[in-house]
Amino acid sequence: MDSEPSGRLLLAATPLGDPGDASARLVAALGQADVIAAEDTRRLRHLASALDVTVTGRIVSHYDAVEASRAPMLVDAIREGQTVLVVTDAGMPSVSDPGYRLVSACVEADLPITCLPGPSAVTTALVLSGLPCERFCFEGFAPRRPGERRRWLTALATEERASVFFESPRRLATTLADAVDVLGADRRAAVCRELTKTYEQVLRGSVGELAEWAAAEEVRGEITVVLAGAEPVVAALDTLVAMVHERVEGGQRLKDAVSEVAAGSGVPKRELYAASLPGGDSSASSATSS
CATH of the domain at 177: 3.30.950.10
Radius of gyration (C-alpha) of the chain in whole angstroms: 25
212-247 b/e (C-beta count within 10 Å ≥ 16 → b): bbbeeeebeebbbbbbbbbeeeebbbeebbebbeeb
Cα dihedral 142/147/150/151 (nearest 10) = -90
pLDDT band of 282, cuts 50, 70, 90: low
Q: What is the pLDDT of residue 54?
A: 97
DSSP per position, 151-205? HHHHHHTT--SEEEEEE-TTTHHHHHHHHHHHH-TT-EEEEEESTTSTT-EEEEE
Mean pLDDT check: name the lowest of 29-38, 203-212, 256-265: 256-265
Are residues 111 and 145 located together in one domain of the fold? no
pLDDT digit string, tens, across residues 108-147: 999 999 999 999 999 999 999 999 999 999 999 999 999 9
Residue 184 lies inside a defined structural domain of this protein: yes
Is 252 part of a structural domain of the chain? yes
Integer Cα distance of 90 and 16 in angstroms: 5
| Mean pLDDT score, 225-232 | 92
Residue 220 to residue 264: CA distance in whole angstroms: 38
pTM equals 0.79
pLDDT band per the 50, 70, 90 thresholds, residue 284: very low
Structural domain including 35 reads: 8-116
Start-to-end CA distance of the chain, whole Å, equals 64
Tell me the C-alpha distance between 132 and 149, whole Å.
24
State which of 207, 227, 247 marks the end of a domain.
227
